[in-house]
Structure 1
């Protein structure tokens, strides 16, 4: 009974988005790194308002990530060994990362989070907040989705979008090696254009090569138009898609 009461006492505002994943229930031992402690990892400087936040996704941080973990990995790492605040879920993802620096590690974690929460992020592409509120799901099987769906989307979006804070350690700033690679569209930050393409291909069941050709024709700056155009021709044959692309190319040349 005490356990039930303690669960009810946890407010939704805590936003522990990973409570429905296996990683959240992993033991502390399973999340331990194999670390060469002779590296003497130094804690990064953390702004006061982020003092309890995961550097990777802004969820409450319970652990520290020691990066790089070994002398061998330090050979290719361009910065000193550092200790970074991290949540349990991101730690489980970071433990499998082979990134050479902390920013590329973050990039890999962001991609993994976006893949894991694909369905949550897709809510914001298929619905608006108002549409969900007025969907008329009361009393039906989708009542819970209507109530929590938008919050699920916002939590996933905010975790993927969070860019951390500048990394300073011992008075030295560590350069962001991923700066300029990100692709932002419709309020969501993707690690790069390819990740955005993969997301929309899966969300709308699009033909990937067809979407890529549409983007090549209309330009990356009209990414939204390319998606809308590709959605018009879902299920078309390869021959039909080739003719459609010819028409689109001719249309663009004439504009």
Structure 2
């Protein structure tokens, strides 16, 4: 995904097909060092996902062989498998030290969300209608107005894609990350910590203060904690401490 919004991106052009030096490593740099004596078995692929990356649903043109070596297979709870993957996700998987494929997916999702932080933030700062009617026509932000929401939707959909259940040789591979995900405002994060980091960066929140707000009001009021923390950006440590005391007192009395 190109974060330079001066040029509109055709709706038909998906992110994983954009072959640019800015976001994609060369074929040589993402080459997988694999022990080819391992018999990697192909997973079962539903017909409607037959050309999709298992990690993000972008068009897939490669295979991820997991685990890559016999040494890593010792700790892996499932057999060696071959999973369809797009070029960008494969470049991100290169540095993964996950012991199973689902934890590898979790790391890739976090990396995608971090890489496309600015694009995901569009949906937190604008609505589709606001962006379309922002009056950027003819200015330096015209490209952003035309393609910004589409870029947000593509990034969101990639991060949100839950993948299809993994079956290989008639056996299902158990999802070791089930129940860890945290969904808020239309985006699914790998866990609560990732969601916290995302909003801290998006709104320049004080992280410890934000975390204390969540502890006081509860995770089920995550949106309220965001709004409350945004009111006190730039306050001193002592002031934040008093504000948290007042918030705690108010919550206990309500």
Q: Normalization by structure 1: what TM-score?
A: 0.93
1:57 partner SS: coil
Once the two structures are TM-superposed, the CA of residue 28 in structure 1 deviates from its matched residue by 2.4
Change (3 A) 1:80 1:155: same
Count of residues in correspondence between the two structures:
246
Contact preservation (8 Å) 1:90, 1:109 = yes
Q: How far apart, in 2, do the equivalents of 1:24 and 1:247 lie?
A: 46
Return the structure number with greater helix share: 1
Once the two structures are TM-superposed, the CA of residue 11 in structure 1 deviates from its matched residue by 5.8
Contact preservation (8 Å) 1:120, 1:149 = yes
Contact preservation (8 Å) 1:68, 1:101 = yes
Change (3 A) 1:123 1:231: same
Gapped runs of 5+ residues in structure 2?
1-8
Contact preservation (8 Å) 1:98, 1:105 = yes
Partner residue, 1:164: 163
Contact preservation (8 Å) 1:23, 1:88 = no
Partner residue, 1:27: 26
Change (3 A) 1:11 1:236: closer
2:144 partner SS: helix
Q: How far apart, in 2, do the equivalents of 1:61 and 1:20 lie?
A: 13
Comparing both chains, which one has the higher relative contact order based on Cα–Cα distances under 8 Å and sequence gaps of 6 or more? 2
Residues 117-196 of structure 1 mapped to structure 2, 5 A cutoff: 117-196=116-195
Q: How far apart, in 2, do the equivalents of 1:23 and 1:83 lie?
A: 28
Once the two structures are TM-superposed, the CA of residue 38 in structure 1 deviates from its matched residue by 1.2
1:75 partner SS: helix
Partner residue, 1:224: 223
Q: How far apart, in 2, do the equivalents of 1:21 and 1:123 lie?
A: 22
Contact preservation (8 Å) 2:16, 2:88 = no
Partner residue, 1:239: 238
Partner residue, 2:213: 214
1:110 aligns with 2:99: no
Gapped runs of 5+ residues in structure 1?
1-9
Contact preservation (8 Å) 2:24, 2:91 = no
Give a deviation string over 1:18-51, Cα, whole Å, max 9, x none: 7375375533232221111111100100001100
Q: How far apart, in 2, do the equivalents of 1:189 and 1:239 lie?
A: 34
Give a deviation string over 1:120-147, Cα, whole Å, max 9, x none: 0000000000000010000011000000
Contact preservation (8 Å) 2:102, 2:175 = yes
Give a deviation string over 1:75-107, Cα, whole Å, max 9, x none: 100000000000000000001100000000000
Q: Give the aligned CA root-mean-square deviation in angstroms.
A: 1.4
Partner residue, 1:7: none
Contact preservation (8 Å) 1:24, 1:88 = no
Partner residue, 2:60: 61
Residues 80-95 of structure 1 mapped to structure 2, 5 A cutoff: 80-95=79-94
